[in-house]
Amino acid sequence: MVLAGGGTAGHVEPAMAVADALRALDAGVRITALGTARGLETRLVPERGYDLELITPVPLPRKLSADLARLPLRLRRAVRQTRAVLDDVQADVVIGFGGYVAVPAYLAARSVRRGKRVPVVVHEANASAGWANRVGARSAARVLSAVPDPGLGPVEVVGVPVRESITSLDRPALRAEARAFFGFADDARVLLVFGGSQGAQSLNRAVSAAAEELARQGVSVLHAHGPKNTLDLRASAPGDPPYVAVPYLDRMDLAYAAADLAICRSGAMTVAEVSAVGLPAVYVPLPIGNGEQRLNALPVVEAGGGLIVDDRDLTPEFVSGTVAGLLTDQARLTAMTAAATLAGHPDAAQRVAQAALDVAAAARSGRIRR
């Protein structure tokens, strides 16, 4: 199996979740990940124990530039490099997750040096597919997605692959340990705030400015503000519930278990993880791009597992009013937890892995032309 999902965590993490699921389903499977020297995969893939092969990145320039003129040459080089990898590892299937390495993988799979096509399985995590997966879906053996209509034609809805340590998380069972780890009382009302690995300044500003009012209402806060950001927090008064501010959360499992409610962005991986563990959330879509973050959160919100608030509307007043009000409404939080859990897809990684194994079996038996 060759997994093409390098670049950002949103592409690498689903690929690694599927890699783990493949090994669980078939201990003899050989897995190679494709990546580029500039992506997170250079750290994440070796850490998970998988082979990594690097190719030339092929980003699509958004405007007329010298980079756009160099695109054909860069793409040819990347396809040639990828074709060599597929031939060397005797690939049976390419599983693509979008991103810079996916297009070369899809094109290389059409003709490797052995003179055979390598069948492709495409997984689209976002509610609106990017150009890489639009290319791959045209000739893929299976097209899987997180939502019913990401713009790829007929798809099989499986959700977003999430690592097993998250999908198997028992928040109630881990709650006491998690709260003790972060210094919260066992009966605290805990708000988790995070904006991805780099943080989100609008979330940081709104929640930190509401710190005094949150404390007055008895709300504890666990806030991952990003390694390059700082928070301007007032000194805590005696008896105030803790406001724990950290640059980064290494133990997201404990963070999810400690929290009653989250404020977060709504990237595909974030929504998948938060709903998989059944954590109610206030989703604040990134206010740039094509609006896909709002679309990512809609299924969970429509099911009753969260709220969407525009970035410009996330004010200190909203946090101290609406958010704090949610945290003091146990009946509503319980209903939102149940809805979020039902909206999640904890078996997504296994379903993608099984689809790839089925495609490999079909190709070997001649039911898929190679």
Count of helices and strands (H, E) across the chain: 16, 13
Is 133 a known ligand-binding residue?
A: no
User: Taking 60 as the threshold, does the pLDDT of residue 369 lie above it?
Assistant: no
User: Mean pLDDT of all residues in the chain?
Assistant: 91
> What's the CATH number of domain 2-162+347-365, 3.30.9.10, 3.40.50.2000, 3.40.50.1100, 3.40.50.300?
3.40.50.2000
pTM: 0.85
Q: What is the pLDDT of residues 148-187, one digit of tens each?
A: 899 999 999 999 999 998 999 999 999 999 999 999 999 9
Q: Where are the domains of the chain?
A: 2-162+347-365, 165-343
Is 163 a known ligand-binding residue?
A: yes
Is 142 a known ligand-binding residue?
A: no
* Residue-wise burial string across 177-198, b where 16 or more C-beta atoms lie within 10 A, e elsewhere: ebbeebebeeebbbbbbbbbee
**How much of the chain, in percent, has pLDDT values that exceed 70?**
94
User: Taking 70 as the threshold, does the pLDDT of residue 344 lie above it?
Assistant: yes
Is 236 a known ligand-binding residue?
A: no
Region 249-255 average pLDDT: 93
Cα–Cα distance for residue pair 161/111, rounded to 1 Å: 28
Which residues have CB under 8 Å from 180's CB, separation 6+? 186
- Which range scores top for mean pLDDT: 74-88, 192-206, 208-222, 279-293? 208-222
What dotted CATH number matches 165-343? 3.40.50.2000
User: Taking 70 as the threshold, does the pLDDT of residue 370 lie above it?
Assistant: no
Q: What is the dihedral of CA 147, 35, 284, 312, to 10 degrees?
A: -130
Amino acid 27: pLDDT? 94
Q: What is the dihedral of CA 306, 309, 314, 318, to 10 degrees?
A: -60
Is 197 a known ligand-binding residue?
A: yes
Is 8 a known ligand-binding residue?
A: yes
